[in-house]
């Protein structure tokens, strides 16, 4: 069983340390706009939803890429071969979660789980991001999150759509004390 | 294949001889089959098994560390075969080898002549008997003696470079009879325990301490430093056996020392009678353009170590060599240092053959010429692609490329890999990539490699502004004139950055430069300076606070107010350290910042609306993720204690920043930024901030913030008897149970944090339909206990409503409590009584809107309200600012802190609650000064109050790592004092004197009516006594004016 990057929105404080860490590791500077994961903050509702790449079992991005630049490696990680990427943006449109974006040159980038040691998880002090092999309960949680697919708008809109769906569910089922995910 | 994960758990009997034999046989069959005759399917299986075997039997860490090898392609790269400078993997993919096995393959992979000699020797005798004399070893020693510089004549052969260094160390100790060594910082000599002692890198060394005694490290390239250490060692009788250095530091990134370095080392060693060891493991055998690295400077070392390329890239081989004089110490007992396999016939055959290749093909000459060519080409690339390659270093074909950031280095390594070029570049250390190909690499391949490097450079995105701007700081300031409607960008003034750091200090400097101290705070001539700190927007914990400095409409003093959340980082990402706002817009406007695009836009649609709605509107208008500073109706109506809010529940609370926004018709500042913040060296910075986080922040001192948040202070202050109750009448609240940490926890539904804060002190609470982030301690006390509203739900309503209207909960709570007292005393009926929650909630919109008689009255604030009704003794304040929730009658230090604070009664300047004796004025005066200076520096770095243990040393370390230049704790302490004196000067010129450094009569004349300090007051004389001491210790005169000498010391004399 592969390890997955799992998200527990109820525990997220919205501090964005994961995002800062990601950009530092991947870009060498603190630049959230180029991070491979994002936090959708809803401060008024006191809620935050991390957006991460699910490394889907059947990745839409992989199917969308005509160049064969996206593949799943032997450990189940969906990665981009930048050398083969032509910058067409089909994968960006293809990903229903908004987790692939492009540099100014067009080259696409996404989460690669830092080779099995995600920097974001190490910076999460509230357990909102966890990297582990999911049990049945966690698989269900992941499955529910993955259901919130969106085809409209840019990467940002899709992430927001998923985050709002999760937020609404959390608000609809009133959070009570002790309900921390 | 068996799955070891499960079976290892059982026990020792996990033995399977059958499978072991079968798998060994299988691999032997593969070896015996010519490389191209193994079918591709079998090779694919080998590739998969290799990853698995690495994971299960070598070290799974390598798979993660060598990310480029495992991630960038479908299958992991598995060694298969190679020739010259081309490596072929198990799946027939070709790679251009620029790594050369870190200097191993100086002759290329499988040089035919070396292979032929080794094969022939293999058929004759692969090892020696250990008893007879061995001709090859003896001849090789002679050949090397002929090649090496100076009097070097004897040699010992071993298997790996680290063994050569070990031997050299033993020889030096034996010959000199001393134990010490001088080694170089960032030097690398191998990883066995002896050689490791010489290692100049913490990461490999520290976990294994103690290592050999007597080893000192000095910077590489600094012969004076070596001399100092030798002199000092001699002076204390702890003598040095040898100085050890690499001619060119390889592992450190091909660092070439200054030309005079090696000759000076020789001189210094001669002078002190110390041996000089040249570790030529990587630099020897032609690599640097001469046969040995030291030949570049014509220096003969006493001991010379060889390795790597010595074995021809075919057989492991190393050696250390020295002079007859030194070697003589090993003659009495030749068994002092021996090895069974070192210098075996195969290795010697390889080395002898390699030396013929080295000399006949003039590999040193080739390295010299090709190295010059490559460096020239790389420098060309450096110019064509600015912001990618920072430095090109090296000598011969030992070349180092240093990239601007680790991230770029990593991308180059990964990009080269995917283009079939093999280099070393890993996640944790990619800033330097070594270019170390075979010395006989054909020119076409070299050009091909350079072309591919250029291809990769083309794809590197240099994020906005990284090429030009400074480290940590964005380097730019926005100047907004609302009267003229203009926005200009100017560089942040470097001399001010240095002296005033950022945040409070830098904002104050900008403000004092702009504004006449006599200005009317609500006039267009007053300025607002919003400022971030240098660490803001990075992973430095709690660094996201943002300051505002201006002249307060509430107190008439200069003031600073700061806010958490994520506005500051967003402003930095947009590319600005801060904003200076002057003038007054004709109509309601908001400032819209989107990276370089800054506009002043209409805010009519939300004028009159609360903070919550305004924030939503702005996010829709400017875009998702936009961060804003907004005001509510209170700010628009210029209520002098109106605040500026962000993220709904965060406020620049004190001093009336909201009224200033309102006076300028400025509804909000809204920002979106997509840029980045650069640090001098990400690896070093990361290490420092992680250490600060783990060793200083996440410790017992501060973890209360994570577990409970500020409500924990309810119990503490009650215990100390300083919990203001019933308008500062009592020091304990009997009904506090309803408001304490347990109660807040019982309604908490989530943790909230400001950007980059791992503490997450915010408690998001929900009770009977009221949701709010908070209430914090000040609100619980001043809006709860002080009004005797011992009902958490009502306090939460109060909190939420104040946040929406844009009222400071502290000043509001203090003013309402005063009105309650005045009502109950029969002075004037405000319709407000202690404990009556409905009325106190009802009056909030009236204050914010100044819509009713009593609303207008309460909008005066406590000091003016008490004067208006002739009862100044009823209000608790200093300089007109309502008092925070720590009663100074139970802690005189807080009294002095309130009286001397630049913005009036404030608990964020000095905090003496933990004083051993809360009434011992000598200690308290010192503690207050220390706290004020330290906090001035801390608010200038924009760190959070709740990082209580953030001392100047920790702060200086983070700054130093980020800026890449030395900042000391002393610099920060001085900056803190400078800032404190600067605000003092402003207030003096604004007309404030020592007579204003006082507390209201409530504190000085009336005694506490309950709690452990019942009957105690802080009388005026006591306060004067403390002040006199305080002024004296500050270097101020008796009237509280900084003396010339103090100003000169702080560099403020011309202000």
State pLDDT tens for residues A34-64. Answer: 999 999 999 999 999 999 999 999 999 999 9
For residue B467, name the pLDDT band (cuts at 50, 70, 90): very low
pLDDT, residue B40, reads 86
Do A24 and B73 make contact, defined as CB atoms within 8 angstroms? no
Residues B545 and B656 in one domain: yes
Q: Kindly determine whether residue B538 and residue A156, on different chains, have CB atoms separated by under 8 Å.
A: no
Q: What is the pLDDT of residues B408-423, one digit of tens each?
A: 887 788 788 878 888 8
Question: How far is the CA of B1030 from the CAs of B247, B505, B896, in angstroms?
Answer: 59, 22, 9
Taking the C-alpha atoms of residue A11 and residue A141, their distance in angstroms, rounded to an integer, is: 14
From B48, B65, B97, give the residue that closes a domain.
Answer: B97
At B7, list the tokens.
């079976």
B356 and B367 together in one domain: no
**B253-282: average pLDDT:** 95
Q: Which residues contact B80 (CB under 8 A, 6 or more apart)?
A: B35, B43, B88, B89, B90, B92
The counts of H helices and E strands in chain B are 41, 31
Residue of B178, B163, B148, B181 whose CA lies nearest to B323: B148
**Other beta carbons less than 10 A from residue B686's beta carbon:** 20
B840 Cα to chain A: minimum distance (Å): 24
**Claim to verify: residue B24 and residue B136 sit in the same structural domain:** no
Residues 105-124 of A with CB under 8 A from B: 105, 107, 112, 114-117, 123
- Distance separating alpha carbons of residues B875 and B886, to the nearest angstrom: 15
Q: A179 and B760 in contact by Cβ < 8 A?
A: no
pLDDT at B394 (0 to 100):
93
Q: Testing the interface with A: which of B65, B390, B750, B958 to mutate, by most A Cβ within 10 A?
A: B750
Q: What is the CA radius of gyration of chain A?
A: 16
Please give the Cα distance from B938 to B944 (Å, whole number): 8
Q: How many CB atoms lie within 10 A of CB B151?
A: 13
> ipTM for the complex?
0.95
Please indicate whether, in this complex, the C-beta atoms of A14 and B415 are within 8 angstroms of each other: no
Q: Is-contact B219 B263, C-beta < 8 A?
A: no
Q: Is-contact B288 B296, C-beta < 8 A?
A: yes
- Residue B612 among the catalytic residues: no
B876-886 residue pLDDT tens: 999 999 999 99
Angle (nearest 5°) at CA A68 between A63 and A73: 85
Given pLDDT bands bounded at 50, 70 and 90, which one contains residue B468?
very low
- pLDDT greater than 50 at residue B839: yes
Alpha-carbon gap: B121 to the closest alpha carbon of chain A (Å): 42
For residue A179, being part of any structural domain is answered with no
Domain assignment of residue A134, given as a range:
4-172
Chain A nearest-CA distance from B799, in A, is 13
What are the residues whose beta carbons fall under 8 Å from the beta carbon of A23, sequence distance 6 or more? A29, A30, A31, A32, A33, A34, A35, B676
A178 located within any domain: no
Question: How far is the C-alpha of A17 from the C-alpha of A45, rounded, in Å?
Answer: 20
Asked if B883 contacts B814 with a C-beta cutoff of 8 angstroms, the reply is yes
Task: Indicate if B279 belongs to the active site.
Answer: yes
For residue B771, give both structure tokens: 């949701």
Confidence of residue B305 (pLDDT cuts 50, 70, 90): very high
- Collapsing DSSP states into helix, strand and coil, what is residue B578? strand
Residue B75 phi/psi, 5-degree rounding, is: -120, 150
- Interface contact flag, B415 A82, Cβ < 8 Å: yes
Q: List the Cα angle B800/B895/B991 in 5-degree steps.
A: 90
Chain B residues in contact with A79 by the CB 8 A cut-off are 71-72
Smallest CA–CA separation between B787 and chain A, in Å? Answer: 27
Dist. CA A2–CA A140, nearest whole Å: 15
- The answer to whether the Cβ–Cβ distance between A126 and B565 falls below 8 Å is no
Segment B550-557 mean pLDDT: 96
Instruction: Tell me which residue range forms the domain holding B217.
Output: 112-360
For residue B901, tell me if it sits in a domain. Answer: no
B370 shares its domain with B341: no
User: Which one of the listed residues B181, B188, B661, B986 is annotated catalytic?
Assistant: B188
Q: Maximum CA pair distance of chain A?
A: 50
Q: Which of B844, B795, B809, B857 is nearest to B654 (CA)?
A: B809
3 state SS of B237: coil
CB contact under 8 A, A74 and B48: yes
The CA distance from B30 to the nearest CA of chain A, in Å, is 23
Q: What is the pLDDT of residues B1037-1052, one digit of tens each?
A: 999 999 999 999 999 9
DSSP B551: E
Q: Is residue B179 part of a domain?
A: yes
Q: A24, A30, A154, A155: best mutation site toward chain B, by most B Cβ within 10 Å?
A: A30
The CA distance from A117 to B63, in Å, is: 11
Size of interface A-B (CB pairs under 8 A): 176
Which tokens belong to B776? 């914090």
Q: How many domains does chain A have?
A: 1
Q: What's the mean pLDDT in B427-438?
A: 76
Show the tokens assigned to B87.
């490596």
Is the predicted pLDDT of residue B238 greater than 90, yes or no? no
Rounded to a whole number of angstroms, the distance between the first and last alpha carbons of chain A is: 23
Is the CB of residue A152 less than 8 Å away from at least one CB of chain B? no
Question: Would the CB atoms of A123 and B539 count as touching at under 8 Å?
Answer: yes
Judgement on whether residues B51 and B135 belong to the same structural domain of the protein: no
Q: Is position A181 within any domain?
A: no
Q: Please say if the pLDDT value at position A173 is more than 80.
A: no
Q: Is some CB atom of chain B closer than 8 A to the CB atom of A11?
A: yes
User: Per-residue confidence at B157, pLDDT binned at 50, 70, 90?
Assistant: very high
B592 and B448 part of one domain: no
Q: How far is it, in rounded angstroms, from Cα B670 to Cα B629?
A: 6
Chain B residues within an 8 Å CB radius of A41? 566, 625, 647
Q: DSSP string spanning chain A? A: ---EEEE-GGG-----HHHHHHHHHHHSSB-GGG-SSEEEEEGGGTEEEEE-----SS-HHHHH-TTS-EEE-TTS-EEE-TTT-----HHHHH-TT---EE-TTS-EE---GGGGS-HHHHH-SSSSEEEE---HHHHHHHHHHHH----SSSHHHHHHHHHHHHHHHHHHS---TT---
Are B745 and A104 an interchain contact pair (Cβ–Cβ within 8 Å)? Answer: no
Chain A residues within an 8 Å CB radius of B679: 29-30
Looking at residue B40, which CATH number applies to its domain?
Answer: 3.90.1150.10
**Same domain flag for B403 and B546:** no
Domain boundary among B459, B493, B518: B459
Strands (E) in B197-337, as ranges, are 215-218, 240-245, 275-279, 303-306, 318-323
The CATH number for A153's domain is 3.30.70.20
Quick one: tokens of A48?
């935050």
Asked whether the beta carbons of residue B679 and residue A179 sit closer than 8 angstroms, the reply is no
- 3 state SS of B599: strand
What are the φ and ψ backbone dihedral angles of B597, each rounded to 5 degrees? -95, 110
Provide the token pair at B93: 């993919």
Residue B256 makes CB contacts below 8 A (sequence gap 6+) with B248, B393, B394, B395
Task: Give how far B378 is from chain A: nearest CA, Å.
Answer: 21
> Nearest CA to CA, how far is B625 from chain A (Å)?
8
Is B188 catalytic? The answer is yes
Identify the CA nearest to B1049 among candidates B1030, B1031, B1036.
B1036
**Is A75 a residue whose pLDDT tops 90?**
no
The band of A181, judged by pLDDT with boundaries at 50, 70 and 90, is very low
- Cis peptide before B918, with omega less than 30 degrees from 0? no
Which residues partner with B245 through β-bridges?
Answer: B278
Element of type H or E holding B581: strand B578-582
- B523 or A85, which is more confident: B523
Greatest pairwise CA separation for chain B in angstroms: 117
Judge whether A156 lies within some domain. yes
pLDDT at position B469: 59
Do B64 and A116 count as a contact with CB atoms less than 8 A apart?
yes
Query: A177 lies in a domain?
Result: no
pLDDT, position B64: 61
- Say if residue B192 is in the same domain as residue B136: yes
Mutation to test the B interface, candidates A8, A10, A15, most B Cβ within 10 Å: A15
- Total domains, chain B: 4
**Same structural domain for residues B381 and B332?**
no
CB contact under 8 A, A160 and B624: yes
| Helix pair B406-418, B682-692: axis angle to 10 deg | 130
Element (H, E) at B223: helix B223-235
Q: Determine the pLDDT at residue B1.
A: 44
The answer on pLDDT for B9 being more than 60 is: no
* Domain end among B672, B695, B723: B672
Backbone angles phi and psi of B383, in degrees to 5: -75, -35
Instruction: Give the C-alpha separation, B73 to A63, whole Å.
Output: 17
Residues of A in contact with B674 (CB under 8 A): 31, 33
Whether residue A3 lies within 8 A of chain B, CB to CB, comes out as: no
Confidence of residue B459 (pLDDT cuts 50, 70, 90): confident
User: Would an 8 Å CB–CB cutoff place A87 in contact with chain B?
Assistant: no
Q: What is the pLDDT of residue B986?
A: 96
B219 lies in the same domain as B338 = yes
pLDDT at A179 over 60: no
Looking at the fold, whether B655 and B520 belong to one and the same domain comes out as: yes
CB contact under 8 A, B612 and A44: yes
CA distance A94 to chain B (A): 21
In chain A, what residues touch B649 (CB-CB under 8 Å)?
Answer: 43
Same domain for B252 and B379, yes or no, is no
pLDDT at A175 over 60: no
Can you tell me the distance from the alpha carbon of B1035 to that of B9, in angstroms, rounded to the nearest whole number? 71
Domain annotation covers residue A180: no
Q: Strand B762-767 and strand B770-773: pairing?
A: antiparallel
- Contact between B871 and B827 under an 8 Å Cβ cutoff? The reply is yes
* Interface check A17 vs B, CB under 8 A: yes
Three-class SS state of B423: coil
- Residue of B279, B302, B808, B997 marked catalytic: B279
CB-CB: which of B647, B675, B706 is closest to A43?
A: B647
Q: Coil, helix or strand for B945?
A: coil
What value, to the nearest 5°, has the Cα angle with vertex B908 and ends B902 and B910? 80
For A105, B724, B810, B1000, the CA distances from B731, given in Å and listed in that order, are: 65, 5, 17, 17
Are A89 and A106 within 8 A, CB to CB?
Answer: yes
- Per annotation, catalytic residue among B173, B308, B411, B664: B308
Which residue spans within B995-1038 are E strands per DSSP? Answer: none
pLDDT at A177: 44
């Amino acid at each position: 069983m592969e390890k997955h990057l799992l998200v527990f929105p109820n525990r997220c404080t919205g501090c964005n340390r994961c995002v800062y860490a990601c950009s530092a590791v991947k870009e060498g500077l603190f630049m959230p706009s180029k991070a491979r994961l994002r936090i959708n903050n809803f401060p008024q509702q006191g809620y935050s939803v991390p957006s991460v790449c699910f490394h889907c079992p059947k990745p839409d991005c992989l199917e969308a890429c005509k160049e064969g630049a996206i593949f799943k490696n032997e450990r189940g990680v969906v990665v981009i071969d930048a050398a083969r990427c032509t910058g067409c943006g089909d994968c960006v449109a293809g990903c229903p979660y908004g987790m692939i974006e492009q540099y100014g040159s067009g080259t696409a980038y996404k989460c690669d789980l830092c080779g099995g040691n995600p920097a974001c998880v190490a910076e999460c002090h509230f357990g909102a991001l966890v990297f582990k092999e999911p049990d049945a309960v966690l698989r269900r949680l992941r499955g529910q999150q993955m259901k919130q697919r969106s085809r409209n708008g840019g990467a940002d809109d899709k992430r927001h759509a998923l985050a709002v769906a999760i937020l609404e569910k959390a608000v609809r089922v009133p959070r009570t004390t002790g309900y921390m995910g | 294949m068996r799955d070891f994960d499960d079976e290892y758990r059982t026990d020792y009997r996990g033995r399977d001889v059958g499978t072991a034999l079968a798998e060994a046989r299988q691999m032997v069959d593969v070896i015996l089959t010519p490389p191209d005759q193994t079918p591709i399917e079998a090779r694919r299986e080998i590739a998969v098994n290799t990853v698995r075997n690495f994971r299960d039997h070598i070290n799974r860490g390598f798979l993660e560390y060598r990310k480029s090898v495992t991630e960038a392609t479908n299958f992991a790269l598995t060694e298969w075969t190679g020739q010259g400078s081309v490596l072929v993997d198990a799946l027939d993919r070709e790679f251009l080898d620029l790594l050369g096995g870190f200097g191993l393959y100086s002759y290329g992979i499988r040089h035919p002549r070396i292979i032929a000699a080794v094969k022939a020797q293999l058929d004759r005798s692969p090892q020696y008997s250990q008893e007879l004399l061995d001709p090859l070893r003896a001849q090789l020693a002679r050949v090397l003696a002929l090649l090496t510089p100076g009097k070097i004549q004897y040699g010992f052969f071993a298997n790996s470079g680290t063994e050569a260094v070990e031997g050299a160390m033993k020889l030096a100790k034996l010959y000199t009879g001393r134990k010490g060594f001088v080694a170089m910082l960032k030097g690398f000599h191998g990883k066995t325990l002896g050689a490791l002692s010489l290692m100049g890198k913490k990461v490999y060394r520290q976990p294994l301490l103690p290592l050999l005694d007597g080893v000192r490290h000095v910077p590489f390239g600094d012969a004076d430093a070596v001399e100092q250490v030798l002199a000092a060692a001699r002076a204390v009788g702890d003598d040095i056996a040898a100085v050890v250095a690499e001619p060119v530091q390889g592992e450190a990134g091909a660092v070439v020392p200054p030309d005079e370095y090696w000759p000076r080392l020789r001189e210094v060693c001669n002078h002190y009678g110390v041996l000089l060891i040249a570790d030529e493991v990587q630099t020897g055998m032609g690599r640097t353009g001469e046969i040995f690295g030291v030949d570049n400077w014509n220096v003969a070392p006493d001991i010379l170590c060889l390795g790597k390329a010595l074995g021809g890239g075919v057989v492991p081989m190393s050696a250390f060599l020295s002079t007859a004089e030194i070697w003589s110490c090993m003659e009495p007992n030749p068994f002092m240092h021996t090895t069974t396999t070192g210098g075996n016939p195969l290795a010697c055959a390889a080395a002898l053959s390699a030396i013929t290749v080295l000399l006949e093909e003039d590999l040193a000459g080739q390295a010299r010429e090709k190295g010059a060519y490559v460096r020239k080409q790389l420098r060309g690339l450096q110019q064509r692609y600015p912001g990618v390659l920072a430095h090109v270093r090296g000598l011969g074909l030992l070349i180092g490329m240093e990239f601007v950031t680790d991230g770029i280095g990593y991308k180059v390594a990964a990009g080269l890999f995917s283009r079939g070029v093999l280099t070393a570049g890993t996640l944790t250390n990619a800033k330097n990539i070594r270019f170390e190909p075979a010395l006989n690499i054909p020119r076409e391949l070299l050009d091909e490699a350079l072309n591919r490097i250029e291809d990769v450079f083309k794809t590197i995105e240099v994020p906005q502004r990284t090429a030009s701007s400074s480290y940590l700081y964005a380097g730019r300031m926005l100047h907004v004139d609302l009267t003229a409607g203009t926005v200009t960008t100017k560089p942040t003034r470097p001399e001010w950055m240095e002296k005033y750091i950022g945040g409070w200090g830098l904002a104050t400097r900008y403000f004092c430069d702009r504004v006449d101290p006599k200005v009317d705070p609500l006039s267009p001539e007053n300025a607002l300076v919003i400022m971030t700190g240098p660490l803001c927007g990075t992973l430095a914990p709690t660094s996201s606070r943002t300051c505002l400095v201006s002249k307060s409409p509430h107190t008439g003093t200069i003031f600073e107010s700061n806010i958490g959340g994520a506005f500051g980082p967003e402003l930095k990402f947009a590319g600005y350290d801060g904003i200076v706002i002057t003038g007054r817009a004709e109509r309601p406007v908001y400032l819209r910042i989107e990276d370089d695009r800054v506009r002043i836009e209409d805010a009519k649609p939300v004028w009159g609306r609360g903070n919550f709605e305004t924030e939503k509107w702005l996010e829709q208008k400017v875009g998702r993720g936009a961060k804003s500073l907004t005001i509510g109706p209170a700010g628009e109506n210029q209520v002098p204690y109106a605040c500026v809010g962000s993220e709904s529940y965060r406020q620049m609370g004190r001093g009336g920043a909201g009224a200033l926004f309102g006076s300028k018709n400025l509804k909000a500042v809204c920002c979106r930024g997509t840029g980045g913040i650069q640090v001098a060296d990400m690896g070093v910075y990361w290490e420092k901030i992680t250490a600060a986080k783990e060793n200083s922040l996440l410790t017992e001192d501060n973890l209360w913030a994570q577990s409970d948040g500020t409500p924990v202070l309810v119990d503490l202050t009650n215990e100390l008897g300083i919990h203001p109750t019933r308008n500062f009448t009592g020091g304990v609240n009997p009904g506090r149970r309803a408001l304490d940490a347990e109660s807040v926890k019982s309604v908490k539904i989530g943790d909230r944090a400001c950007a980059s804060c791992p503490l997450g002190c915010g408690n998001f609470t929900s009770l009977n339909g009221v949701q709010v982030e908070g209430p914090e301690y000040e609100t619980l006390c001043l809006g709860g206990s002080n009004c005797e509203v011992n009902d958490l739900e009502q306090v939460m309503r109060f909190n939420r409503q104040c946040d929406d209207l844009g009222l400071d909960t502290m000043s509001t709570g203090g003013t309402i409590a005063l009105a309650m007292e005045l009502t109950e005393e029969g002075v004037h009926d405000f319709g407000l009584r202690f404990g009556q929650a409905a009325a106190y909630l009802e009056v909030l919109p009236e204050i914010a809107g100044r819509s009713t008689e009593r609303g207008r009255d309460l909008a005066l604030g406590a000091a003016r309200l008490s004067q208006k009704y002739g009862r100044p003794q009823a209000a608790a304040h200093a300089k007109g600012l309502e008092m925070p929730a720590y009663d100074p009658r139970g802690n005189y230090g807080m009294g002095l802190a309130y009286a001397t604070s630049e913005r009036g009664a404030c608990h964020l300047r000095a905090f003496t609650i933990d004083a051993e004796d809360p009434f011992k004025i000598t200690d308290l005066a010192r503690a207050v000064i220390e706290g004020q200076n330290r906090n001035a520096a801390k608010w200038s770095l924009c760190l959070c109050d709740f990082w209580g243990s953030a001392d100047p040393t920790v702060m200086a370390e983070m700054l130093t790592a980020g800026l890449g230049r030395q900042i000391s704790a002393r610099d920060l302490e001085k900056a803190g004092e400078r800032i404190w004196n600067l605000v003092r000067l402003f207030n003096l010129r604004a007309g404030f004197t020592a007579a204003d450094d006082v507390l209201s009569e409530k504190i000085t004349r009336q005694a506490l009516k309950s709690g452990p300090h019942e009957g105690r007051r802080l009388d005026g004389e006591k306060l004067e006594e403390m002040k006199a001491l305080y002024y004296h210790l500050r270097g101020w005169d008796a009237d509280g004016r900084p003396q010339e000498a103090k100003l000169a010391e702080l560099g403020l004399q011309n202000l």
